Chains A and B, each alone.
Chain A
Amino acid sequence: MSSLTMAAPILQTTALSVRGLTKRYGGRTVLSGVDFDVRYGELVAFLGANGSGKSTTLKCVMGLAEPDDGGITLDGAALGPLRGGQLQAARRQAAMIFQKIHLVPRRSALDNVCAGALNRIPTSRSLIPALFPREIREEAMACLDRVGLADRALDKVSQLSGGQQQRVAVARALCQRATIVLADEPVSALDPHAAERVMALLHDLAHSENLAVAAVLHQPDLARRHADRAIGLLGGRMVFDTPTRDLTGAQLDELYQPDRMDLT
């Protein structure tokens, strides 16, 4: 496995840095003081039982949930003091991949990938896909090629399998020119073979394109096989942050203890 050949990692710069992240819903604390870094060129897996705060962590980074406390730094820019357009520009470094994929099924794979570039296209040239500039369409084609789906570019997304759809979503993130990819249970709805392929793609993007990838996973062995590092969350607290080759059965047992499940 390539993760084992990384014995002497080259100097990696921090892409995403989270410090003291705290989030409460109502009176319930779902995240308390979470600290972690994700560096360029690595795939970090977030593990934990349902309700442990994995997805909430990613949502806070993407601005889909408002943290109550803590600092987030994306590609060197601390988000805390930023407002409006500057905040949006900083967040554009990161792209999100969803469990439910969230493509438009009636549109072609290519049109969906082009939509990742909408923030670079003036509104007047982006009202319908036919108006997209040619260089955007060609860039989107190259992104589809990168995920191995150039031959399906003109097919409607609804005609693709679940695994292919998730790879189109990855291509959309690439077309956004994101350097940080956050994936919220990207393979939970996929069959084992498709899950394997999507995870291999995310691993490859981290290692050969030097992207920073953070993925919430529900299957520890997928994390073992594809991630460089695993972060374990339990009841909103981090319980470990270790290279996946050092991940022990005892650490995993702690995460998924049945008597802890009633915390949710």
Chain B
Amino acid sequence: MSTPLDTPRATPRRMPVPRDPRRRWRTGSLAAAVVVVVVLHVLAFEGTEFRPARLIEGWEGMARFLAEAFPPDLSWEVLGPSLEATVVTLWIGLLGTTLSVPFAILLAVLGARTTSPHPLVYQAARSVLSFFRAVPDIVFALIFVTAVGLGPFAGVLALICHNTGVMGKLWAESMEEIDQGPQEALRTAGANRTQQVAHATLPMVVPQFVGLLLYRFDVNVRSSLVLGLVGAGGIGLLINQSIKSFQFDEMLTHIIVVLVLIVVVDQVSALVRRRLAA
């Protein structure tokens, strides 16, 4: 027993730190990881012919292009159709998101380990989701254009397919992550699997679902722009046309309108998500 000191000790006590036997191994593996990442980047620079010098040499071409684009053509003959096409783009993004919800929910429930009725069903649902996710929406758009012709309908169908794949996977993962307790409680109370999902799993993940849905709406509005480039309607089509006919001032008008749309959609979905979180 040491006697209590009147004042705190003048010099703090010290103690040697034990040697960490894993330290050398950790340093080695960190160095190896750095080497691998550097090598991958060198290969990527080669593979993409990444030459900043060429960008500097060719600045004149870019300057000419921009000079022709400024000032944007804000005449009503250009702005009117631009606004109309932008609204179509918004509708494509909206329908592409909402109409994929039933498919995404079904595949998410079947493709979440915690709610799937059978491992085989789980694998099948995951495969379907992977397929829809792996095929880019622009490829779906090209396929649907051959069936329903050029226009926004093909764009909506393309977004439904791709978005089902992405949202289904995100939802399945959020269902796997939530607390499984309520589901287990209903199972012990004798509820069947559908009832467990309807009264425990789904109500538990509503905030995550809505957050992801808004995020996907945001992404889909932007995707529907690109879909226009391949003929699936909306403002993308007009941008494509003005580039092909060298009307760069019209193109700039379209881009400004799109910018406004994207900012508005982004702000609204951020606002709604903040409200949900609170």
B4 in contact (CB, < 8 A): no
A34 in contact (CB, < 8 A): no
B198 in contact (CB, < 8 A): yes
0/1 interface trace, chain B 85-123, chain A, CB 8 Å (1 if under): 000000000000000000000000000000000000000
A63 in contact (CB, < 8 A): yes
0/1 interface trace, chain A 42-64, chain B, CB 8 Å (1 if under): 00000000000000000000111
**Bound CA span A118–B203, Å:** 16
Give the contacts of A87-107 with B (CB-CB under 8 A). Answer: 88, 91-92, 94-96, 98, 100-104, 106-107
Q: Do residues B188 and A103 form an inter-chain contact, with CB atoms below 8 A?
A: no
Residues in A neighbouring B182, C-beta threshold 8 A: 102-104
Q: Do residues A102 and B190 form an inter-chain contact, with CB atoms below 8 A?
A: no
Q: Do residues A62 and B203 form an inter-chain contact, with CB atoms below 8 A?
A: no
Give the contacts of B161-201 with A (CB-CB under 8 A). Answer: 179, 181-182, 184-186, 188-192, 194-195, 198-200
Q: Do residues A102 and B181 form an inter-chain contact, with CB atoms below 8 A?
A: yes
Q: Do residues A115 and B181 form an inter-chain contact, with CB atoms below 8 A?
A: no
Residues in B neighbouring A96, C-beta threshold 8 A: 185, 188-189
Closest to A116 in B: B189
Residues in A neighbouring B189, C-beta threshold 8 A: 92, 95-96, 115-116, 118-119, 172-173, 176
Closest to A92 in B: B190
A126 in contact (CB, < 8 A): yes
| A-B interface pairs (CB < 8 A), number | 73
B143 in contact (CB, < 8 A): no
B268 in contact (CB, < 8 A): no
B272 in contact (CB, < 8 A): no
Q: Do residues A118 and B190 form an inter-chain contact, with CB atoms below 8 A?
A: yes
Contact of A104 among B184, B191, B199 (CB under 8 A): B199
**Bound CA span A108–B156, Å:** 38
A208 in contact (CB, < 8 A): no
Q: Do residues A115 and B191 form an inter-chain contact, with CB atoms below 8 A?
A: yes
**Bound CA span A104–B179, Å:** 10
**Bound CA span A212–B211, Å:** 45
- Report A263 CB to chain B, min CB distance, Å: 27
A189 in contact (CB, < 8 A): no
Q: Do residues B191 and A119 form an inter-chain contact, with CB atoms below 8 A?
A: yes
- Report A136 CB to chain B, min CB distance, Å: 13
A123 in contact (CB, < 8 A): yes
A106-B203, A128-B198 known; A118+B191 contact, CB < 8 A: yes
- Report B208 CB to chain A, min CB distance, Å: 12
0/1 interface trace, chain A 242-254, chain B, CB 8 Å (1 if under): 0000000000000
A261 in contact (CB, < 8 A): no
Residues in A neighbouring B191, C-beta threshold 8 A: 115, 118-119
Q: Do residues B181 and A98 form an inter-chain contact, with CB atoms below 8 A?
A: yes
Closest to B190 in A: A119
Q: Do residues A104 and B200 form an inter-chain contact, with CB atoms below 8 A?
A: yes
A127 in contact (CB, < 8 A): yes
Closest to B186 in A: A115
B262 in contact (CB, < 8 A): no
Q: Do residues B188 and A118 form an inter-chain contact, with CB atoms below 8 A?
A: no
**Bound CA span A127–B188, Å:** 18
Residues in B neighbouring A121, C-beta threshold 8 A: 195
**Bound CA span A172–B184, Å:** 14
Residues in B neighbouring A101, C-beta threshold 8 A: 181
**Bound CA span A95–B186, Å:** 10
Interface centre among A88, A115, A127, A176 (most CB of B within 10 A): A115
Give the contacts of A163-188 with B (CB-CB under 8 A). Answer: 169, 172-173, 176
Closest to A96 in B: B188
B243 in contact (CB, < 8 A): no
Residues in A neighbouring B198, C-beta threshold 8 A: 126-128
Pairs A-B, 7 closest by C-beta atoms: A119-B190, A102-B181, A118-B191, A102-B185, A92-B190, A118-B195, A96-B188
Q: List 25 A-B contacts (CB under 8 A).
A: A62-B188, A63-B188, A64-B188, A91-B188, A91-B190, A92-B189, A94-B188, A96-B189, A102-B179, A102-B182, A102-B185, A103-B182, A104-B203, A106-B204, A115-B195, A115-B199, A115-B200, A116-B189, A118-B186, A118-B191, A118-B195, A119-B190, A119-B191, A126-B195, A127-B194
**Which residues of A pack against B, CB within 8 Å?**
62-64, 88, 91-92, 94-96, 98, 100-104, 106-107, 111, 115-116, 118-119, 121, 123, 126-129, 169, 172-173, 176
- 11 new A-B contacts at CB < 8 Å, known A94-B188, A103-B185: A91-B190, A96-B185, A96-B189, A98-B181, A100-B181, A102-B181, A106-B203, A123-B192, A126-B199, A173-B189, A176-B190
